[in-house]
Amino acid sequence: MEHDLSPRRYPEMSGKIALVTGGSTGIGLATAQAFAHEGATVIIASRNEKRANQALAMLSDDGRGRWMQCDVTDGRDVDRLVSSILKEHGPIDYAFNNAGSGGKMSPIASMSEDAWGKTINGYLTSVFLCMRYQLPAMLKAGRGVIVNNSSVDGLRGYPLPGGAAYAAAKHGVLGLTRSAALEHAKDGVRITAICPGWIGTPPVENWIKKNKEIGAQIMAQEPIGRLGTSAEVAGGVLWLCSDAASFMLGSPLVLDGGYMA
Segment 154-183, tens digit of pLDDT: 999 998 889 999 999 999 999 999 999 999
Q: Is 65 inside any structural domain?
A: yes
pLDDT for 128: 98
Question: Within a domain: residue 219?
Answer: no
Q: If pLDDT is split at 50, 70 and 90, which confidence band does 2 have?
A: very low
Give the confidence band of 3 by pLDDT, cuts at 50, 70, 90.
very low
Catalytic residues, which ones? 166
Question: What integer pLDDT is reported at residue 4 of this predicted model?
Answer: 52
Q: CA 60, CA 209: separation in Å to the nearest integer?
A: 31
Indicate which CATH number applies to the domain containing 170.
3.40.50.720
Rounded distance between C-alpha atoms, residue 237 and residue 231, angstroms? 10
Residue 1 has pLDDT above 80, yes or no: no
Range of the domain at 68: 11-200+231-253
Q: Is residue 18 part of a domain?
A: yes
Q: Tell me if the pTM is above 0.75.
A: yes
Whether 214 is in a domain gets the answer no
Q: Which residues contact 228 (CB under 8 A, 6 or more apart)?
A: 196, 197, 198, 199, 200, 255, 256, 257
pLDDT band at 5 (very low <50, low <70, confident <90, very high): low
Does 72 fall in a domain? Answer: yes
